[in-house]
Amino acid sequence: MRTKPSSRSGLPARKGGCSQLERHVPAYRQYLLDRGNAAGYVRSCEAAVMHFSMWMRQANRRLADIDEALVVEFLDGHLPRCNCATNARHPASVRAALAHLLVVLRDADAIGPEPQDETPVGQELRRYDQYMTQVRGLAPKTREGALRLVEALLRKHFGDEGIQFEIMTPEHVRRFFAAQAKNYKAPTSLGAVVSALRGYFRWRATLGDRTHALVGALAYPANWQLASLPKSLEPAEVEQLEAALGQSGPAMLRADAMVRCMLDLGLRSGEVARLSLDDIDWDAGTITLRRTKGRREDVMPLPEATGKAIAAYLRGERPKTQHRMVFARHMTPRERPIGPDLVRKTIRQAYARAGLSHTRSHLLRHTMASRLLAGGSSLKEVADVLRHRSLNTTLIYAKLDSGSLVEVALPWPGKPAAAATGRTS
> Looking at residue 261, what is its pLDDT?
93
Question: What string of DSSP letters covers 22-52?
Answer: HTTHHHHHHHHHHTT--HHHHHHHHHHHHHH
Q: For residues 369 and 346, which has the higher predicted lDDT (pLDDT)? A: 346
What's the DSSP call for residue 400?
Answer: G
pLDDT of 424 higher than 60: no
Q: What is the pLDDT of residues 127-156, one digit of tens each?
A: 999 999 999 888 888 899 999 999 999 999
8 Å CB contact between 318 and 263: no
Lowest mean pLDDT among 31-40, 304-313, 336-345: 31-40
In 3D, which of 405, 261, 403, 402 has the Cα closest to residue 344?
261
Tell me the C-alpha to C-alpha distance, in Å, between residue 323 and each of 232, 238, 297.
34, 33, 20
Please state the domain extents for the chain.
19-107, 120-216, 235-405
Confidence tier at 418 by pLDDT (50, 70, 90): very low
113 confidence band (pLDDT: 50, 70, 90): confident
Class of domain 235-405: mainly alpha
For domain 120-216, the question of CATH label 1.10.150 is answered with yes
pLDDT for 245-304, tens place per residue?
999 999 999 999 999 999 988 888 989 999 999 999 999 999 998 866 556 678 889 999
